[in-house]
Amino acid sequence: MALLKLADAYPNYRQEIFGGDDIKGYDVYAAEGNDKIGSVYDALIDESGSFRYFVIDTGFWVFGKKVLVPMGKVQIDYEQHRIYVSGMTKQEVENMPEYNDNMTVDYDYEERVRNTFRPTAGTATRPTYDRNT
């Protein structure tokens, strides 16, 4: 399924979706540690009109690359013009696959992005339950 840039999918996105505001340029922070990791460069929308990813420009914060963050991993603070990415540290952003405007986001690339957010073996994201205690 092809992904469209925000303005291509919704030419009047500021009014139609964000109440006159422009989500592009919002600061992006890692929810863990509250480290700034970049700013919103764009959003990618699927053919059904669903938001799939924010394109984050890491600028000088992390090697000056663009990365994709799945919509399900973000919390938007409209008052502060910030986006918080859950399950992500600044160091993990450095290891994310780079995105560029001319690439096709295929299954393999999306899987590499998803793997960034999956816990590795031996690391629990939540306290584990021990029925003996």
pLDDT in tens, 50-88: 999 999 999 876 568 999 999 999 999 999 999 999 888
pTM above threshold 0.75: yes
Q: 68 pairs with which residues across the strands?
A: 55
Question: What is the predicted pLDDT for the residue at 61?
Answer: 60
Residues 2 and 4: their CA atoms lie apart, in Å, by: 7
Report the Cα–Cα distance between both ends of the chain, in Å, rounded: 48
Instruction: Return the domain boundaries, the chain.
Output: 3-116
For residue 98 the two structure tokens come to 């780079």
- CATH of the structural domain 3-116, one choice from 3.90.180.10, 3.90.50.10, 3.90.580.10, 2.60.120.10: 3.90.50.10
